[in-house]
Structures are given as structure tokens and as C-alpha cells.
């Protein structure tokens, strides 16, 4: 059977779909307009760095001005507080400077030396309370600045705030920095008790404890206060549930850091050695000032007086311990046989030497650290 030729076959009838397809394929698509070129970024000024250009494009000028103004206020605020304090307490400053003007300069120089060692001891304790290694120069500068802030706010809040900002600036998380402050605050009174017991044993003959021994009611009052404080803290944690989780996390972090620290002999020596040396250095400053004025007490008696006074009223919230500790220190030295006038002059001279003289340079260091964004 033969097939018909192709030319003789009828042409297929076009359908609407094929017509549409042919029209679509035959008509050329319109050309797409090119995307507009992005606007070029402004070229940096000749003296600008790439980081400065990035900051200028990231933060608006109003935010930058507000941040600069805030830092300026924080830098000048310590100077304003110190000026206000000096205007309020100018009589004590005047009397102390007058007393020190007639004192033996060599003993005063020894007092300055022990004051400087006190800041070094504080920096050692701060380092011993943290596993990470901190830069020694900045750490010492921060403690010098913290000493100025400590005399403005009560209960060492100023010093702890400065140290907390410094640790966070070094990359320490907030929980671990807070645990370090708690360990620092706990180590100093705990290390003071063995020093006090050592003085009681070694200098029993020279220490006149008749007028200083507390009676039974005083001991009961102290024990009751400690028990009440612990019971109140436990009750708050048991009743207020939002406090429970942060407290547990804080304790877990603190115990972990304590375990790590006590596996490193250098940290143990810095923490506990510095804490034990702190009252000895403070007592040495008081003894040096007393010797320059002719105080008829030995070094052991003066240091013991400071240990007793700071232990008795050290928990009273006062800026830098000024006030309650001073009154207790004068009372203790008088009970040990010193005249009231010389004891008062010794304490005033001690405060001038350790508070008023370092206050202005310490405040300037604090402002400089804030300005340089170390704090």
C-alpha cells in the first residue's frame, strides 16, 4: 500500500492556543531597564579612619552627641561631689592640716608610703578574686580611682561600682564580675579574724583589754543581729520566687570561681595575703601619724585598736567608714591609755593623709578613666 505524497495532505487548522504561542514567540520581549547605580558612599576626610566613618554612618549625630555629653557629665560629677563635701566638712580638713603642719615630717612620709602600699594590696585582692589576669597598671589605677569614689557613697558602693565597670570593660561577664566583688567583700573580714586572734595571743601583755572586753549583753546583741540578718535573707529567698533563680545562678558562679581560684597558688596568695595585709597597712598609717604627733601607744596597740574598731562598727554604712569607725577608733585608743586630744588629732590626721590628700588626684584619675572609656 502506497502513501499519498506530503504535498497533497490538507494543512492543519490553527487552534487559538497555537496562535497565541506563535504570536508570543514572534513578538520580541521589551528590553528591561538597567537598575540604577547605587549612590557612592561619601569619601572619608583626610584625617578620618575607616572605623570613624563606620561609626558616623551607623550612629546618628544626635546619639553621638548625647553619649559624649553623658560621659562629660560622668567625668565632672566626681569633682562636683568632692567640692560639695569639702564645703560641708571644711572644719575637719582645716584642723587636720593644721595638726599635720606641726607633726614630724619623716613619720608622715612613712604614713604616705604605707598608704600607697594599701592601694597595691587592694589591687592584689581584686586580682586574687578573679581567675582572669588583669592588666596591672590599669588595675592599680582603677583602685586608686575607686578609693576616691569610695569616700562619696556609703558601704563601699562607689568602689564596687568603679571596679564593676572596670571588670566589664575587660570583658568579664556581669555575673562573674559580681561574684568577684562578693568574694572580695567576704575575704577581707574573714582574713581579719585570724589577724585579730594573732594579736590577742602575741601581744596579750601589752594590750589592756579590761575596758575593751564586751559584756554578755553586747555579745548577745551582736549574735542576734547576725542571726536576724541570715534569717531575713533566707526568708526572702524562700518567699520571693523571682529572687530564687538569680540567687542560685549567682551562688553557682561564685562557687565555681572560688574552686578554680583555690587551685592556683598565686591567686590564693593575692586574695588572702592581700586581705590580711590590708588592716596591718591601715594600722601602720595610723601609727605613723600618731608617732608624728607624739601618741603614747605602740604599733601593736594602734593596729589592735583599728582591728577592734573596724570589727565592731565596720558594717555601719558610711562613706569610706568615716564617722562610726573614727569614733570607735578614738574610743579604743583612749581605752588603751592615749589622751583624748591626741587620739582625735591622730584620727583626723589619718583621714587627711588617706582621704583628703589623695582625693583630688584620685578624682582626676577617675575622670580620666571615664573619658578614655576604661570605665
Across the range 37-65, mean pLDDT stands at 50
Residue of 124, 92, 147, 106 lying closest to 365 (CA atoms): 147
Give me the number of domains the chain comprises. Answer: 1
Closest CA to 130 of 264, 248, 273: 264
| Of residues 300, 333, 365, 374, the one with CA closest to residue 78 | 365
Residue-level pLDDT at 320: 53
Span 126-148, average pLDDT: 89
- What is the residue range of 282's domain? 71-214+268-371
Query: 199-226 burial, b for 16+ CB within 10 Å, e for fewer?
Result: beeeeeeebeeeeeeeeeeeeeeeeeee
In a domain, 242, yes or no: no
Q: Is 13 helix (H, G, I), strand (E, B) or coil?
A: coil
Question: From CA 91, how far away is CA 89, in angstroms rounded?
Answer: 6
Nearest one of 275, 276, 297 to 287, comparing CA atoms: 297
pLDDT band at 49 (very low <50, low <70, confident <90, very high): very low
Q: Which residues pair with 319 in a beta bridge?
A: 154
Q: What is the pLDDT of residues 171-185, one digit of tens each?
A: 898 888 988 998 998
Report phi then psi at 279, rounded to 5.
-65, -30
The answer to whether residue 278 scores a pLDDT higher than 90 is yes
Instruction: Give dist(CA 346, CA 344) in Å, integer.
Output: 5
Strand-pairing partners, residue 27, are none
Residue 39 lies inside a defined structural domain of this protein: no
Q: Does residue 222 belong to any structural domain of this protein?
A: no
Report whether pLDDT(131) > 70: yes
Q: What is the spatial distance between Cα 77 and Cα 66, in angstroms, rounded to a whole number?
A: 16
Q: Confirm whether 309 is domain-assigned.
A: yes
Number of C-beta neighbours around residue 130 at 10 A = 25
Residues 257 and 176: their CA atoms lie apart, in Å, by 8
Q: How confident is the model at residue 299 (pLDDT cuts 50, 70, 90)?
A: very high
pLDDT range class, residue 303, cuts 50, 70, 90 = very high
User: For residue 249, what pLDDT band results from cuts at 50, 70 and 90?
Assistant: confident
CA 110 to chain centre: 28
Using one digit for the tens of pLDDT, what is the confidence trace for 77-124?
555 655 665 565 566 556 666 777 778 889 999 999 999 999 999 999
Is 261 part of any domain? Answer: no
**Does the CA dihedral 100-103-105-111 come out positive or negative?**
negative
3-43 pLDDT tens trace: 555 455 555 555 544 444 444 444 444 444 454 554 554 55
Q: Which residue has the higher pLDDT, 363 or 111?
A: 111
Q: Does the pLDDT value for residue 259 go beyond 60?
A: yes
Chain segment 176-213, per-residue pLDDT in tens:
898 899 899 889 888 988 898 888 887 766 666 555 55
pLDDT in the model for residue 357: 84
Give the three-state DSSP class for 319.
strand
CA 121 – CA 130 distance, rounded (Å): 15
CB-side neighbour CA atoms (13 Å) of 257: 26
- What pLDDT shows up at residue 275? 93
The per-residue pLDDT for 351 is 85
pLDDT computed for residue 113 by the predictor? 94
Q: What is the mean pLDDT of the chain?
A: 74
Q: How many CB atoms lie within 10 A of CB 347?
A: 23
Amino acid at each position: 500500500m502506497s502513501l499519498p505524497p506530503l504535498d497533497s495532505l490538507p494543512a492543519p487548522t490553527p487552534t487559538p492556543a497555537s496562535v497565541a504561542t506563535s504570536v508570543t514567540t514572534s513578538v520580541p520581549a521589551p528590553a528591561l531597564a538597567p537598575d540604577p547605580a547605587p549612590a557612592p558612599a561619601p569619601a572619608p576626610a583626610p584625617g578620618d579612619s575607616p572605623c570613624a566613618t563606620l561609626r558616623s554612618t551607623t550612629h546618628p549625630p544626635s546619639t553621638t552627641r548625647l553619649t559624649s555629653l553623658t560621659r562629660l557629665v560622668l567625668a565632672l560629677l566626681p569633682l562636683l561631689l568632692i567640692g560639695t563635701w569639702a564645703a560641708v566638712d571644711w572644719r575637719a580638713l582645716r584642723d587636720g592640716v593644721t595638726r599635720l603642719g606641726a607633726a614630724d615630717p619623716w613619720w608622715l612620709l612613712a604614713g604616705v608610703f604605707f598608704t600607697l602600699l594599701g592601694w597595691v594590696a587592694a589591687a592584689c585582692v581584686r586580682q586574687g578574686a578573679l581567675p582572669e589576669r588583669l592588666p596591672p597598671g590599669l588595675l592599680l589605677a582603677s583602685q586608686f580611682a575607686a578609693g576616691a569614689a569610695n569616700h562619696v557613697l556609703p558601704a563601699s558602693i562607689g568602689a564596687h561600682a568603679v571596679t564593676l565597670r572596670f571588670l566589664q570593660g575587660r570583658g568579664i561577664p556581669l555575673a562573674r564580675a559580681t561574684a568577684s566583688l562578693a568574694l572580695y567583700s567576704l575575704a577581707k573580714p574573714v582574713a581579719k579574724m585570724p589577724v585579730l586572734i594573732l594579736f590577742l595571743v602575741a601581744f596579750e601583755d601589752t594590750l589592756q583589754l579590761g575596758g575593751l572586753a564586751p559584756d554578755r549583753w553586747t555579745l548577745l546583741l551582736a549574735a542576734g543581729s547576725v542571726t536576724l540578718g541570715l534569717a531575713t535573707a533566707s526568708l526572702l529567698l524562700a518567699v520571693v520566687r523571682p529572687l530564687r533563680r538569680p540567687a542560685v545562678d549567682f551562688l553557682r558562679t561564685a562557687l565555681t570561681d572560688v574552686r578554680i581560684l583555690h587551685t592556683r597558688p598565686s591567686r590564693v596568695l593575692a586574695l588572702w595575703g592581700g586581705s590580711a595585709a590590708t588592716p596591718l597597712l591601715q594600722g601602720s598609717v595610723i601609727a605613723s601619724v600618731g608617732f608624728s604627733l607624739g601618741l603614747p601607744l605602740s604599733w601593736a596597740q594602734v593596729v589592735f585598736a583599728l582591728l577592734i574598731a573596724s570589727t565592731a562598727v565596720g558594717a555601719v554604712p558610711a562613706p569610706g567608714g568615716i564617722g562610726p569607725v573614727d569614733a570607735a577608733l578614738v574610743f579604743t585608743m583612749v581605752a588603751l591609755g592615749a589622751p583624748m586630744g591626741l587620739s582625735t588629732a591622730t584620727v583626723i590626721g589619718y583621714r587627711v593623709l588617706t582621704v583628703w590628700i589623695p582625693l583630688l588626684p584620685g578624682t582626676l584619675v577617675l575622670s580620666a578613666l571615664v573619658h578614655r572609656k576604661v570605665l
